[in-house]
Amino acid sequence: MVRKPTSKETARKPNMREAILAAAEELFATNGFNAVSVRDIAQAAGANPGSVTYHFKTKDGLLLEIYRRHCGPMNLRRSELLAAAKRVRDLQDRLEAIVRAYVVPAFTSGSDLAGGGARFTRLRAVMSAEGNEVARRIIAQTFDDTSHAFIDAIHESLPHIPRTEIVWRSHFLLGALYYSLVTPERVARLSRGEADGSDAASAIEQLVQATVAAFQAPALDQTAPARRRAVASSKT
């Protein structure tokens, strides 16, 4: 038997709910939350504005559902890759593997949708910049566990660096990651066309390489703040 799926399950092609989610994700990620209207989303999805209300009740509810859809799979994938990375023996290699485990799912698919990882990460970047309340709540209670796991793992492979500095550097990593997804065309522009900021593969390699080096930098070590390098004539 062919087993035609029930509408309660996943319908095949004309799934309005999914189309709305995808359209909203795309529009929110590129224009921000407030710049996009429910009518914009409906039009992009080929749906009726009222249909959005039916499926998600409110605009906030729609954003919430986008997060729900992605958070689980993405964190799962990261956890798997982190577990694998922690088994790497060589400390240098392990650090790189850990960073890669953090970066790769953010750039590529982390769920059913192809390329959904990058789009969702970009969405998170934009929501965080806008200070979106819905996003802030979800992020703190969903991603902080994973973030701590990564920070701890990195700390284990760099025991001589204070945890506080690991936090700072992983924060920088996330910022660099976000920004790479938000304005990839800037890389192409500044490199005069020699680099393609939209190429996920090279973005990942560049980011991993740079970040590993950043993590390995000597600690500032606030317990011994003696070493203060002079900057030539910084006062005008």
Locate 24 and state its tokens: 């909203």
The residue range among 36-44, 104-112, 141-149, 159-167 that interacts with DNA, by the rule CB under 7 A, is: 36-44
Binding part of the chain for DNA, among 48-56, 159-167, 202-210, 216-224 by CB under 7 A, reads: 48-56
Alpha-helical (H) ranges within 89-162 are: 91-107, 116-130, 133-157
Near DNA by CB under 7 A: residue from 23, 24, 29, 38:
38
Closest to DNA by CB, 40 vs 196, is 40
Contacted by 58, from a copy of itself, DNA, none: CB < 5 to 8 Å by type: DNA
Give the integer Cα–Cα distance in Å for 123 and 135. Answer: 10
Q: Closest Cα partner for 22 from 95, 156, 115?
A: 115
Instruction: Quote the CA–CA distance of 210 and 224 in Å, as a whole number.
Output: 26
x-marked contacts with DNA along 165-204 as a string, rule CB under 7 A = ----------------------------------------
Nearest-CA neighbor of 28 among 74, 71, 67, 73?
Answer: 67
Q: Which is nearer to a copy of itself, 57 or 171 (CB)?
A: 171
Among 45, 54, 13, which Cα is nearest to 27's? 45
Q: Which of 21, 47, 134, 151 binds DNA (CB under 7 A)?
A: 47
- Interacting residues with DNA (CB under 7 A): 4-8, 11, 14, 16-17, 36-40, 47-55, 57-60
